Structure 1
Amino acid sequence: MSAIEEILKVKKVRNNKGEEVDVSSFCGKDKYVGLYFSAHWCPPCKGFTPVLAEFYNKLNAEGKKLEIIFISSDRSAEEFKNYFDSMPWLAIDISETDITKQIKEKYGIRGIPNFTLLDGETGETIHQNARNEVTSDTEGKNFPWK
Protein backbone atom coordinates (compact mmCIF):
# COMPACT_ATOMS: atom_id res chain seq x y z
CA MET A 1 0.00 0.00 0.00
CA SER A 2 1.38 3.41 -0.94
CA ALA A 3 1.82 6.22 1.55
CA ILE A 4 -0.89 8.23 -0.25
CA GLU A 5 -3.33 5.30 -0.03
CA GLU A 6 -2.67 5.18 3.71
CA ILE A 7 -3.37 8.91 4.01
CA LEU A 8 -6.52 8.82 1.87
CA LYS A 9 -7.68 5.52 3.41
CA VAL A 10 -8.98 4.43 0.00
CA LYS A 11 -7.48 2.58 -2.97
CA LYS A 12 -9.68 4.38 -5.51
CA VAL A 13 -10.91 7.92 -6.02
CA ARG A 14 -13.08 9.17 -8.85
CA ASN A 15 -13.04 11.71 -11.61
CA ASN A 16 -15.93 14.06 -12.37
CA LYS A 17 -17.31 11.57 -14.92
CA GLY A 18 -17.85 9.08 -12.08
CA GLU A 19 -15.01 6.79 -13.18
CA GLU A 20 -12.81 5.20 -10.54
CA VAL A 21 -9.07 5.86 -10.59
CA ASP A 22 -6.52 3.80 -8.67
CA VAL A 23 -4.67 5.94 -6.13
CA SER A 24 -1.49 4.02 -6.94
CA SER A 25 -1.61 5.37 -10.51
CA PHE A 26 -0.55 8.85 -9.42
CA CYS A 27 1.85 7.96 -6.62
CA GLY A 28 5.60 7.56 -6.77
CA LYS A 29 8.93 9.27 -7.22
CA ASP A 30 8.83 12.82 -8.59
CA LYS A 31 5.04 12.93 -8.27
CA TYR A 32 3.02 15.26 -6.09
CA VAL A 33 -0.44 15.03 -4.58
CA GLY A 34 -2.44 18.05 -3.54
CA LEU A 35 -5.31 17.79 -1.09
CA TYR A 36 -7.86 20.47 -1.94
CA PHE A 37 -10.23 21.17 0.94
CA SER A 38 -13.11 23.23 -0.43
CA ALA A 39 -16.89 23.62 -0.79
CA HIS A 40 -19.27 25.23 -3.25
CA TRP A 41 -20.85 27.50 -0.59
CA CYS A 42 -17.50 29.12 0.27
CA PRO A 43 -16.89 32.38 -1.70
CA PRO A 44 -13.06 32.28 -1.33
CA CYS A 45 -13.15 28.65 -2.55
CA LYS A 46 -15.18 29.56 -5.62
CA GLY A 47 -12.61 32.26 -6.37
CA PHE A 48 -9.60 29.98 -5.86
CA THR A 49 -10.87 26.88 -7.67
CA PRO A 50 -10.47 28.32 -11.23
CA VAL A 51 -6.98 29.61 -10.34
CA LEU A 52 -5.99 26.18 -9.03
CA ALA A 53 -7.51 24.47 -12.10
CA GLU A 54 -5.48 26.68 -14.45
CA PHE A 55 -2.33 25.98 -12.40
CA TYR A 56 -3.02 22.22 -12.40
CA ASN A 57 -3.61 22.10 -16.15
CA LYS A 58 -0.49 24.17 -16.87
CA LEU A 59 1.81 22.03 -14.71
CA ASN A 60 0.52 18.77 -16.13
CA ALA A 61 0.80 20.08 -19.70
CA GLU A 62 4.47 20.77 -18.93
CA GLY A 63 4.98 17.19 -17.77
CA LYS A 64 5.11 17.92 -14.05
CA LYS A 65 3.31 15.23 -12.11
CA LEU A 66 0.65 16.85 -9.91
CA GLU A 67 -2.61 15.17 -8.99
CA ILE A 68 -5.17 16.90 -6.82
CA ILE A 69 -7.76 15.23 -4.63
CA PHE A 70 -10.86 17.27 -3.79
CA ILE A 71 -11.96 16.77 -0.21
CA SER A 72 -15.37 18.33 0.03
CA SER A 73 -17.06 20.22 2.82
CA ASP A 74 -20.29 20.41 0.81
CA ARG A 75 -23.52 19.62 2.60
CA SER A 76 -25.17 17.38 0.02
CA ALA A 77 -24.33 15.05 -2.84
CA GLU A 78 -25.97 17.45 -5.28
CA GLU A 79 -23.83 20.39 -4.10
CA PHE A 80 -20.73 18.18 -4.30
CA LYS A 81 -21.53 17.01 -7.84
CA ASN A 82 -22.32 20.49 -9.17
CA TYR A 83 -19.07 21.89 -7.77
CA PHE A 84 -16.89 18.89 -8.61
CA ASP A 85 -18.10 18.97 -12.25
CA SER A 86 -16.07 22.19 -12.68
CA MET A 87 -12.82 20.56 -11.50
CA PRO A 88 -10.27 18.76 -13.71
CA TRP A 89 -8.90 16.54 -10.92
CA LEU A 90 -10.07 13.70 -8.69
CA ALA A 91 -12.12 13.45 -5.49
CA ILE A 92 -12.96 11.31 -2.53
CA ASP A 93 -16.70 10.71 -2.77
CA ILE A 94 -18.83 12.91 -0.53
CA SER A 95 -20.40 9.78 0.96
CA GLU A 96 -17.05 8.99 2.63
CA THR A 97 -17.72 11.38 5.52
CA ASP A 98 -15.67 9.43 8.09
CA ILE A 99 -12.64 9.39 5.79
CA THR A 100 -12.85 13.09 4.92
CA LYS A 101 -13.24 13.95 8.60
CA GLN A 102 -10.13 11.92 9.47
CA ILE A 103 -8.08 13.59 6.71
CA LYS A 104 -9.20 17.06 7.83
CA GLU A 105 -8.22 16.21 11.42
CA LYS A 106 -4.84 14.80 10.34
CA TYR A 107 -3.94 18.07 8.58
CA GLY A 108 -5.61 20.36 11.13
CA ILE A 109 -7.99 21.87 8.58
CA ARG A 110 -10.00 24.58 10.31
CA GLY A 111 -10.84 26.78 7.34
CA ILE A 112 -11.25 26.51 3.60
CA PRO A 113 -10.00 26.74 0.97
CA ASN A 114 -6.86 24.86 1.85
CA PHE A 115 -4.41 23.29 -0.59
CA THR A 116 -1.98 20.93 1.13
CA LEU A 117 0.84 19.56 -1.02
CA LEU A 118 2.28 16.08 -0.40
CA ASP A 119 5.21 14.13 -1.78
CA GLY A 120 3.63 11.44 -3.99
CA GLU A 121 6.16 8.81 -2.95
CA THR A 122 6.54 9.31 0.80
CA GLY A 123 3.29 11.10 1.66
CA GLU A 124 5.29 13.70 3.58
CA THR A 125 3.80 17.17 3.75
CA ILE A 126 5.69 19.58 1.52
CA HIS A 127 3.46 22.55 2.23
CA GLN A 128 0.57 22.74 4.73
CA ASN A 129 -1.31 25.42 2.81
CA ALA A 130 0.10 26.14 -0.64
CA ARG A 131 -2.78 28.40 -1.67
CA ASN A 132 -0.55 31.49 -1.52
CA GLU A 133 2.15 29.72 -3.53
CA VAL A 134 -0.33 28.86 -6.29
CA THR A 135 -1.54 32.46 -6.50
CA SER A 136 1.92 34.03 -6.31
CA ASP A 137 3.74 31.48 -8.52
CA THR A 138 1.10 30.99 -11.23
CA GLU A 139 3.72 29.70 -13.69
CA GLY A 140 4.87 27.03 -11.21
CA LYS A 141 8.50 28.07 -11.59
CA ASN A 142 9.27 27.23 -7.95
CA PHE A 143 6.94 24.23 -7.72
CA PRO A 144 6.89 22.18 -5.48
CA TRP A 145 7.97 25.00 -3.15
CA LYS A 146 10.30 22.88 -1.01
Structure 2
Amino acid sequence: MVQSDAQITMYLITALRHTAARKASQYRDQGKREILLFDAPASGPGLEDERTWGEFVPISEEGIEEKVTRHTLVKQILLSLTPRERQVIIEMYMLQRSEKQTAQKLGVRQQRVSQLKKKALVHMRAECERQGIIA
Protein backbone atom coordinates (compact mmCIF):
# COMPACT_ATOMS: atom_id res chain seq x y z
CA MET A 1 0.00 0.00 0.00
CA VAL A 2 1.45 3.36 -1.05
CA GLN A 3 1.07 6.15 1.47
CA SER A 4 1.60 9.86 1.01
CA ASP A 5 4.43 11.68 2.76
CA ALA A 6 1.90 13.46 4.97
CA GLN A 7 0.36 10.13 6.05
CA ILE A 8 3.77 8.67 6.81
CA THR A 9 4.80 11.76 8.75
CA MET A 10 1.61 11.80 10.82
CA TYR A 11 1.97 8.06 11.44
CA LEU A 12 5.55 8.53 12.67
CA ILE A 13 4.62 11.47 14.89
CA THR A 14 1.72 9.55 16.43
CA ALA A 15 3.88 6.47 16.92
CA LEU A 16 6.60 8.58 18.53
CA ARG A 17 4.12 10.16 20.93
CA HIS A 18 2.74 6.80 22.04
CA THR A 19 6.20 5.30 22.36
CA ALA A 20 7.51 8.31 24.25
CA ALA A 21 4.79 7.89 26.86
CA ARG A 22 5.46 4.15 27.12
CA LYS A 23 9.24 4.59 27.34
CA ALA A 24 8.89 7.38 29.91
CA SER A 25 6.89 4.98 32.08
CA GLN A 26 9.54 2.30 31.61
CA TYR A 27 12.32 4.74 32.54
CA ARG A 28 10.35 5.85 35.58
CA ASP A 29 9.69 2.24 36.63
CA GLN A 30 13.36 1.33 36.22
CA GLY A 31 14.58 4.46 37.97
CA LYS A 32 16.49 5.55 34.88
CA ARG A 33 17.18 9.17 34.18
CA GLU A 34 18.70 10.64 31.07
CA ILE A 35 20.39 14.02 31.06
CA LEU A 36 19.33 16.13 28.13
CA LEU A 37 20.01 19.81 27.66
CA PHE A 38 17.22 21.41 25.69
CA ASP A 39 19.32 24.55 25.33
CA ALA A 40 22.24 22.63 23.77
CA PRO A 41 22.90 23.66 20.16
CA ALA A 42 21.36 21.36 17.58
CA SER A 43 24.64 21.11 15.77
CA GLY A 44 26.02 18.48 13.47
CA PRO A 45 25.84 17.65 9.79
CA GLY A 46 22.65 19.06 8.36
CA LEU A 47 22.04 21.26 11.40
CA GLU A 48 23.77 24.50 10.57
CA ASP A 49 21.53 27.10 12.17
CA GLU A 50 21.69 28.49 15.70
CA ARG A 51 18.66 26.59 17.01
CA THR A 52 18.70 24.38 20.08
CA TRP A 53 17.30 20.86 20.36
CA GLY A 54 14.53 22.23 22.58
CA GLU A 55 13.23 24.42 19.76
CA PHE A 56 12.39 21.30 17.75
CA VAL A 57 10.18 19.90 20.53
CA PRO A 58 6.63 21.30 20.28
CA ILE A 59 5.06 22.75 23.42
CA SER A 60 2.25 20.59 24.75
CA GLU A 61 0.54 19.43 27.91
CA GLU A 62 2.73 16.35 28.30
CA GLY A 63 5.06 15.99 31.25
CA ILE A 64 8.77 16.71 31.10
CA GLU A 65 9.72 13.02 31.15
CA GLU A 66 7.54 12.30 28.13
CA LYS A 67 8.92 15.38 26.37
CA VAL A 68 12.52 14.34 27.10
CA THR A 69 11.86 10.80 25.90
CA ARG A 70 10.17 12.01 22.72
CA HIS A 71 12.97 14.49 22.13
CA THR A 72 15.57 11.75 22.57
CA LEU A 73 13.76 9.46 20.14
CA VAL A 74 13.42 12.19 17.51
CA LYS A 75 17.11 13.04 17.89
CA GLN A 76 18.14 9.38 17.52
CA ILE A 77 16.00 8.98 14.43
CA LEU A 78 17.35 12.17 12.86
CA LEU A 79 20.93 11.16 13.61
CA SER A 80 20.34 7.82 11.88
CA LEU A 81 19.88 9.67 8.58
CA THR A 82 22.64 10.78 6.25
CA PRO A 83 23.57 14.45 6.73
CA ARG A 84 21.81 15.44 3.49
CA GLU A 85 18.63 13.48 4.34
CA ARG A 86 18.60 15.00 7.83
CA GLN A 87 18.95 18.48 6.40
CA VAL A 88 16.03 17.93 4.01
CA ILE A 89 13.77 16.61 6.82
CA ILE A 90 14.67 19.49 9.12
CA GLU A 91 14.16 22.09 6.41
CA MET A 92 10.82 20.67 5.28
CA TYR A 93 9.18 19.34 8.43
CA MET A 94 10.72 21.30 11.28
CA LEU A 95 11.31 24.61 9.54
CA GLN A 96 8.23 24.12 7.32
CA ARG A 97 9.93 25.00 4.06
CA SER A 98 8.68 23.79 0.69
CA GLU A 99 10.62 21.45 -1.60
CA LYS A 100 11.40 24.45 -3.78
CA GLN A 101 12.71 26.53 -0.86
CA THR A 102 14.72 23.59 0.44
CA ALA A 103 16.21 22.98 -3.01
CA GLN A 104 17.25 26.62 -3.27
CA LYS A 105 18.88 26.54 0.16
CA LEU A 106 20.75 23.31 -0.61
CA GLY A 107 21.68 24.36 -4.14
CA VAL A 108 20.08 21.32 -5.77
CA ARG A 109 17.07 20.69 -7.98
CA GLN A 110 13.63 20.26 -6.48
CA GLN A 111 13.52 16.72 -7.88
CA ARG A 112 16.62 15.84 -5.83
CA VAL A 113 14.99 17.18 -2.67
CA SER A 114 11.95 15.00 -3.39
CA GLN A 115 14.20 11.95 -3.80
CA LEU A 116 16.11 12.71 -0.58
CA LYS A 117 12.86 13.24 1.32
CA LYS A 118 11.48 9.88 0.18
CA LYS A 119 14.72 8.10 1.11
CA ALA A 120 14.79 9.84 4.48
CA LEU A 121 11.21 8.83 5.28
CA VAL A 122 12.03 5.21 4.39
CA HIS A 123 15.10 5.34 6.65
CA MET A 124 13.09 6.97 9.46
CA ARG A 125 10.42 4.29 9.24
CA ALA A 126 13.10 1.56 9.31
CA GLU A 127 14.77 3.16 12.33
CA CYS A 128 11.40 3.38 14.11
CA GLU A 129 10.84 -0.32 13.41
CA ARG A 130 14.37 -1.15 14.58
CA GLN A 131 13.76 0.66 17.87
CA GLY A 132 10.38 -0.99 18.33
CA ILE A 133 8.49 2.28 17.98
CA ILE A 134 6.33 0.86 15.20
CA ALA A 135 5.71 -2.72 14.17
Q: TM-score, normalised by structure 1?
A: 0.29
Query: Which gives a bigger RCO, structure 1 or 2 (Cα 8 Å, sep 6+)?
Result: 1
Q: Which structure shows the bigger proportion of residues in helix conformation? A: 2
Structure 1 or 2: larger strand share? 1
